[in-house]
Structure 1
Amino acid sequence: MGVAGTLVLVAACASSPDAPAPPARLTFAQRCADPAVVKCVGFDTPAEVDPFVYPPHGMTDKRARVVTDVKASGAGSLRFDIPPNTPADTSGSYWQNFSDDLSVQFGEGQQFFVQWRQRFSPEFLRTAYRGGGGWKQAIIGEGDRPGVRVYSCTEIEIVVQNTDQRGFAQVYHSCGGKDGAYEGLDNVRAISYRADEWMTFQVQVKIGRWYRNDRRYQRDGTVRLWVAAEGRPSRLAVDRSRYDLVNTNPAARYGKVWLLPYHSRKDPSQRHPTGHTRYDELVISRSRIADPL
């Protein structure tokens, strides 16, 4: 569940004409009222959230729970604890299908957007995790199907993570399934994480024709990532157009998201301060989502 690579910064485009930014910042409720939105999660109550929280591998106690002390909006947020002496799966994960009835999934010729707010404790950001390849933030991947539970490491996945602990969000595609590799996408700018504030992250996935791992590249997909500091407009961090999204499974479509601080190769013998990361205001939409108010 990890990837490492060489950082490349490329020139940023001035705009994204196929995904223009909405003109106004909006509250969470206003964003969720958009008819293009297919799911919103406010992380306000344990009853809403806990059924979708996995504990760390091999454990029964969960390390992610709804808290009410710090939130971006509403009554609560989802807090993950990252204790010392933990392996790669430090804290488990939270997952959601794009629709409860599994009817909303995305394939060839379609696009979608996933936005979330995230907050990082100073201890989490300043700790150099020994051996670690960089903690994840989100995995956008294959949706469940009737009778089929899909887990996070899939061929089609798009992953946002702090690759190589560089201190800013980066993106890669595929859990080792595209031409046998985890394929990192170049950043157009490095937007540093900021402690103790609600940052906003938004991913666009535009699917052309699926790449079948046959070396016949179509160059007709797009993956973008926007990042915003609290109270500031989003800026484009990753802009990869003319891109091939791999899928060799005719039944597979994008339809599920995982939120998690999974950290490949993290050394479980390291005693470090307990860190925390919080999530709030998850929005999944068929069109570009406004920045939060």
Structure 2
Amino acid sequence: MAASFLPIALATVIAVASYPAQATTPEADFAARCAAPGVVLCKGLDTASDIAANIQPAGDGTIQGSLDTTTKTSGAGSLRFTLRAGVTDTNIGGAWEVGMNHNFVSGETMYVQFALRIDANYLSNAINHWNSSIKYINLHGPSSTCQGAEWTTIWEDQRLVMYTNCGDGINTLPGSTTVYTGTSGDILLQQANSFLESPSGDGYNCHYQNQFSGTGDGSGCFWVPADTWVTVYEIIHLGTFGGNTSTVDAFVSINGGPYKQFHRVTGVEFANTVDNFFSRARLETYMTELTTGHGGTVDAHCWYDELIVSTEPIAVPGATGDGDLNADGTVDVLDVLLAEQISLSSIPPSATQLAHGDINGDGVINVADVLMIQRKALGLVNF
């Protein structure tokens, strides 16, 4: 242990004397994430003109998406959709769609982050009336959705889940990360960063046969809460179109908290049909199963903010890594060694380790973070 720690500790003493300050406001934090390496799309959804330029109507031709200057995560506003009482058109509120300024092809990884919020009326209508899955974001190719290159994040019985190929889910069997297409027995509807259950786990292992609202400690499901900002972070590694070689990792951050994993899946298949690359992002409200007689009883709303697409990892909002990777209340040599292993790709970080170890908020634990954790362990800095 000492042999590993000492050389880097000595190097730390003569390393760079300063380090980028962590963002002090939501606006500065979002700007820092947008300025990070690899970012190809950054939308704060702060102006009426930006929203109007990319808005699409509901099924009846009305525009239900608009700028909300009061409910937001940062900046001057957010995108709000109104889902009207009594309306039973599947395209109930319309959409907002934009090009990603990059074509993601086989062999590349898409990193996508956006903030989502629903109100209590949305929650009530979804549970008691709409009786439908609800689309949140659809990543797709240039043609349209359901054309090979498609990745959709949806509400399904309050859970946040994902699918491809116009409806192919990414369930797995307990103890496996491989997509399971069967329907018998217990299956995992969501998958945490390990199969450890509460109290030793981290994230959400949502069992079909035992569904309850989890707290992110390895057991239970992530259910979308009302009146709460949730940041969704998706890492989609694109394998071969037409093959089952793609992988997906997805996380949620509640009100700026640490990332908690809710999908960890291998063997994902993207069909080889029309589009074989991803180029567009669509924020929407579409309800595939909404039918006559199932309209909501009150107007409801959902909001989107801080959309980022990148070719590199994206930091959690408000990242305030303290260096305590093992969460024992002290930053010491054990945290340094753990950070070293992660930075060298010897072990993958858990969401908790990433939250504590990503000091500069760039979405990864690398040598820059290791040096700062060492300095804190040596008593040279305090943060």
TM over 0.5: yes
Shift >6 Å, 4+ stretches: none
Match for 2:227: what amino acid? D
- Asked if structure 2 preserves the Cα contact closer than 8 Å seen for 1:158 and 1:171, the reply is yes
User: C-alpha displacement at 1:75, in angstroms?
Assistant: 0.2
User: C-alpha displacement at 1:123, in angstroms?
Assistant: 0.7
User: C-alpha displacement at 1:131, in angstroms?
Assistant: 5.8
Query: How far apart are the structure 2 equivalents of 1:271 and 1:196?
Result: 18
Aligned ranges 1:270-289 → 2 under 5 Å: 270-289=295-314
Deviations 1:64-87 (A, max 9, x none): 011101110000100000111212
Query: How far apart are the structure 2 equivalents of 1:271 and 1:223?
Result: 33
5+ residue gaps, structure 1: 1-23, 145-149, 176-181, 212-216
Q: Does 2:235 match 1:238?
A: no
Whichever structure has more helix as a proportion of its residues is 2
Residue 155 (structure 1) aligns with: 148
Query: How far apart are the structure 2 equivalents of 1:68 and 1:261?
Result: 20
Deviations 1:248-267 (A, max 9, x none): 33x53101111111111213
Aligned ranges 1:17-166 → 2 under 5 Å: 27-59=29-61, 61-86=62-87, 87-99=89-101, 104-127=102-125, 128=127, 130=129, 132-142=131-141, 144=142, 150-163=143-156, 166=157
Residue 286 (structure 2) aligns with: 262
Q: What number of residue pairs does the alignment pair up?
A: 244
TM-score in terms of structure 2 length: 0.61
- Of 239, 251, 259 in structure 2, the residue corresponding to residue 226 of structure 1 is 251
Deviations 1:224-274 (A, max 9, x none): 22112113111111111233222233x531011111111112134435111
With CA pairs under 8 Å and 6+ residues apart, which has the higher RCO, 1 or 2?
Answer: 1
TM-score in terms of structure 1 length: 0.78
- Of 132, 149, 162 in structure 2, the residue corresponding to residue 171 of structure 1 is 162
How well do the aligned residues superpose, as a CA RMSD in angstroms? Answer: 1.8
Percent pairwise identity? 24
What secondary structure, in the 3-state scheme, does the structure 1 residue paired with 2:165 have? strand
Query: How far apart are the structure 2 equivalents of 1:241 and 1:233?
Result: 23
- Asked if structure 2 preserves the Cα contact closer than 8 Å seen for 1:129 and 1:266, the reply is no
- Of 247, 252, 264 in structure 1, the residue corresponding to residue 276 of structure 2 is 252
Query: How far apart are the structure 1 equivalents of 2:117 and 2:52?
Result: 19
- Asked if structure 2 preserves the Cα contact closer than 8 Å seen for 1:64 and 1:91, the reply is yes
User: C-alpha displacement at 1:275, in angstroms?
Assistant: 0.7
